[in-house]
A and B are shown apart, each in its own frame.
Chain A
Amino acid sequence: MALVPELVTAEAEPEADAEALTALADWCVRFSPAVAVDAPDGLFLDVTGVDHLWRGEAQMLADFRSRLITNGLPFRCAIADTPGSAWALAHFGKDGTIAPSGEHEPLLASLPPAALRLDRETWAQIERLGLRQVSQLVAIPRAPFGRRFGRAALTRLDQALGHEAEALTFRRPPTPWFARLAFAEPISAPEDMSRVTVDVATKLCARLETEGQGARRFEVCFHRVDGKALQLSVGLSLPGRDPVRIAKLLVPKLDTLDPGFGIEVVTLRAEAVEPISGRQARLDKAREATVEEGLAPLVDRLTNRLGQERVWRAVPVESHVPELAVGRSRPLGKPSIPQTWNREIPRPTRLFRRPEPVDSVIALTPDDPPTQFRWRGQVHRVHRAEGPERIGEDWWKGQIEDADVGHIRDYYRLEDTKGGRFWLFRAGLYGDPATPPKWWLHGLFG
């Protein structure tokens, strides 16, 4: 510090760096859907099969560079056959190198051994032995090399040279179902945004249709001029590929996006792609409507508007505990479950999520139904009663120590003098003066 007083220092912020790197990875989706983060400071883009969108790798890299420079980010980049050699070239080669396909080995040869992504100790050892270039390492027979520097070093060498495949953890699994539209001029008007949504959906759906596929999830991503990526997603209850329908689900959500200074690229990804049978459009209008025409769009509209958890179909769950006996499934899942609830055991039409306490209960011990109770300040005189129906907890599912006699519930179906039908239960048993049983109202029959 004393030597270089003008040196600017800043505290290291690893979390902020990681966050920024993730944001940059999201931004890179405009170039390729498969982006892997190489912590702490690198990114891998799998550009296989996307460079033709820029008419070649050189143009693509040029575009990439100019955009990063505009954003003021210092960087080095390279394109090569394997992630390992691309890493080596980007870190130690000439910035912006594009290794022609199959010819990365000569380019790697002159690089220092550190380019192989070795850990510090191995690298230091190699340097100590006077090996200064990758070519010297390649020349060493494999067996002694592995014995001397460890299996990891050998793997790294193979990965760089392409003898061994390397699995990258992409931020999103690469999907071939991807469509992209770039604009000559940035757009920002809401009507333009909804129009390009339809356009990009049409583009992707045409591909889906030719290959007989449909998707359950669509993710649209608007890339702003300033490098932010705005995402929206919609889900379908049945796999589909109707661009108008998909756009209709997306368009109402566009209001939530802020286009800022404009949007220059829009991408659409289809997820959960599965084959769907082509269906002939109906010739005969009088025939019965199919699920695809009526219910599925309705369920999609509702789930995308209200959220998945607000639209459901009740399905039986094997449990005696009333609040656990009902599960929720997707509305258009597999219908017709073989088992169902027992119709002969009366259950209330309104089941409170939390039982409500009742007081002033007059009941003969130990097992007689109440003759009177008070709920919400109103006294109900019981006219007719049924019960008890004893329901214990599912003790076999939890810890055996947690099972307690206080969790036993004795349910009574009661009818008061006015005809109101109630489902009361007594939690616990009589006998222990320390924990007297409590009475609760769990539901109403109506």
Chain B
Amino acid sequence: MSDFRIRGLATLKAKIAAIEAGGRSEPKFLPFGDERIDGCLPGGGLPLGRWHEIGGTGIEVETAAAPTAFTALLAAPLTQQGEVVWVLRRDDLSAPGLLGLGFAPERLIQVCARDEAEALSVMEDALATVGVAAVVGETEVIDLTAGRRLQLACEKQGATGFLIHRRPYGGQARRETTGSAAATRWRIASAPSEPRAGEFGLGAPRFVAELERCRGGRTGAWLFEATDAYCWEKTDVAHPLRLVADLGDRQLAPAQPLRLAG
């Protein structure tokens, strides 16, 4: 591509972004601090002021443990900017567990909704509120209209939404909607940890994160480690998630991710 065309493309992209932002303030991003993943995301980081879908695999569709931990790690830096509202359907979220991952529970407001529609409307309400930095919601499915409404609510104050897909216990699988207004869609699975040399027990929690959809960016799959989990000292990294390995674009090998990690 010629220099001229590249520049033309960049201008065009900026224009589209400006139209999408609708004259609102500059979009912000939360970089992971590793080029291997930031390069795939538009703007060099997780877009803030948008909403993100996070799903699990296998039994995690019902328990949502790994997606929860991953979301808490993603949202942990946002607790310094304001409150985080977590909209639950089952109140089994444990604040001490979130604290262990570096997520400040004193900024967390938990809300237990009675049904899916209520969960979504509470999310929407919270996203549009001044002083709320992020909203995490747990619902099974979300349709295009509801997704678009969430997006509009995100844009009002620049809050970031996270939607964890979670099926009620023993519920029948519902058809997943294909289209979505979300900025990114992730599928998270726990991965075996690697204790440091000379240490016993479990290492820092690891996750295989597959970026299934990404507006204005590329998809991919990575192995992350929450290096600072369960200790007071903080290592000198910007993001609580450290990238261990790039698992390639859509070539996830869940059976043996360890080998790739080595």
Task: List residues of chain A with CB under 8 Å of any chain B CB.
Answer: 289, 291, 293-295, 297-299, 301-302, 306, 310-314, 316, 322, 325-326, 331, 335-337, 340-341, 343-353, 376, 378, 383-386, 413, 415, 417-421, 443-446
Q: Is B41 an interface residue (CB 8 A)?
A: no
**A418: contacting residue among B98, B132, B190, B231, CB under 8 A:** B190
Q: Contacts A311-B109, A413-B202 given; indicate if A343 touches B67 (C-beta within 8 A).
A: no
**A302: contacting residue among B59, B122, B232, CB under 8 A:** B122
Q: Is B92 an interface residue (CB 8 A)?
A: yes
One of B43-51, B68-76, B176-184, B245-253 contacting the partner: B68-76
Q: Is B64 an interface residue (CB 8 A)?
A: yes
Interface contact B125-A298, CB-CB below 8 Å: yes
Interface contact B93-A350, CB-CB below 8 Å: yes
Q: Which residues of B contact A337 (CB under 8 A)?
A: 106
Q: How far is the CA of A86 from the CA of B159 in the complex (A)?
A: 63
Q: How far is the CA of A421 from the CA of B193 in the complex (A)?
A: 9
Q: Which residues of B contact A344 (CB under 8 A)?
A: 100, 230-232
Interface contact A289-B131, CB-CB below 8 Å: yes
Interface contact A446-B70, CB-CB below 8 Å: yes
Interface contact B65-A384, CB-CB below 8 Å: no
Interface contact B63-A445, CB-CB below 8 Å: no
Q: Which residues of B contact A302 (CB under 8 A)?
A: 111, 122, 125-126
Q: Which residues of A contact B59 (CB under 8 A)?
A: 376, 378
Give the nearest-CB partner of A293 in chain B.
Answer: B130
Q: Contacts A313-B110, A343-B230 given; indicate if A349 touches B202 (C-beta within 8 A).
A: no
**B100: contacting residue among A325, A343, A419, CB under 8 A:** A343
Interface contact B129-A298, CB-CB below 8 Å: yes
Contact with A along B228-262 (1 / 0, CB 8 A): 01111000000000000000000000100100000
A288 to chain B, nearest CB (A): 9
Interface contact A350-B125, CB-CB below 8 Å: no
Give the nearest-CB partner of A291 in chain B.
Answer: B131
Interface contact B99-A446, CB-CB below 8 Å: no
Q: How far is the CA of A445 from the CA of B63 in the complex (A)?
A: 10
Q: How far is the CA of A307 from the CA of B68 in the complex (A)?
A: 25
Interface contact A446-B113, CB-CB below 8 Å: no
Task: List residues of chain B with CB under 8 Å of any chain A CB.
Answer: 59-60, 63-70, 72, 83, 85, 91-101, 105-106, 108-114, 118, 122, 125-126, 129-132, 189-193, 195, 200-203, 205-206, 208, 229-232, 254, 257
Give the nearest-CB partner of A377 in chain B.
Answer: B59
26 A-B contact pairs sorted by A residue (CB < 8 Å): A313-B108, A314-B110, A331-B109, A337-B106, A340-B105, A347-B99, A349-B65, A349-B93, A350-B63, A350-B65, A350-B92, A353-B91, A376-B59, A384-B192, A385-B201, A385-B202, A415-B192, A418-B190, A418-B254, A419-B191, A419-B192, A419-B206, A421-B193, A443-B94, A446-B64, A446-B69
B170 to chain A, nearest CB (A): 10
Q: Which residues of A contact B200 (CB under 8 A)?
A: 386
| B interface, over-half SS | mixed
Q: Which residues of A contact B189 (CB under 8 A)?
A: 418-419
Q: How far is the CA of A340 from the CA of B108 in the complex (A)?
A: 14
Q: Contacts A413-B201, A415-B192 given; indicate if A326 touches B94 (C-beta within 8 A).
A: yes
Q: Which residues of B contact A417 (CB under 8 A)?
A: 192
Give the nearest-CB partner of A335 in chain B.
Answer: B106
Q: Which residues of A contact B92 (CB under 8 A)?
A: 350-353
Q: How far is the CA of A281 from the CA of B124 in the complex (A)?
A: 26
**A351: contacting residue among B64, B97, B129, B191, CB under 8 A:** B97
**B106: contacting residue among A291, A336, A413, A421, CB under 8 A:** A336
Q: Which residues of A contact B108 (CB under 8 A)?
A: 313-314
Q: Which residues of B contact A291 (CB under 8 A)?
A: 131
Interface contact B67-A446, CB-CB below 8 Å: yes
Q: How far is the CA of A145 from the CA of B59 in the complex (A)?
A: 84
Q: Which residues of B contact A301 (CB under 8 A)?
A: 125
17 further A-B contacts with Cβ under 8 Å, apart from A346-B97, A385-B202, are A294-B131, A298-B132, A302-B122, A306-B113, A312-B109, A313-B110, A344-B232, A347-B96, A347-B97, A348-B94, A353-B92, A386-B201, A386-B202, A419-B191, A444-B63, A445-B65, A446-B70
Give the nearest-CB partner of B83 in chain A.
Answer: A295
Q: Contacts A445-B65, A446-B190 given; indicate if A348 touches B109 (C-beta within 8 A).
A: no
Which of B60, B114, B192 has most chain A Cβ within 10 Å? B192
Give the nearest-CB partner of B113 in chain A.
Answer: A306
Q: Which residues of A contact B118 (CB under 8 A)?
A: 306
Q: How far is the CA of A352 from the CA of B94 in the complex (A)?
A: 9
Q: Which residues of A contact B202 (CB under 8 A)?
A: 346, 384-386, 413, 415, 421
Interface contact B109-A299, CB-CB below 8 Å: yes
**A343: contacting residue among B63, B190, B195, B232, CB under 8 A:** B232
Interface contact B94-A350, CB-CB below 8 Å: yes
Q: Which residues of A contact B65 (CB under 8 A)?
A: 348-350, 420-421, 444-446
Q: Which residues of A contact B60 (CB under 8 A)?
A: 446
Q: How far is the CA of A280 from the CA of B93 in the complex (A)?
A: 39
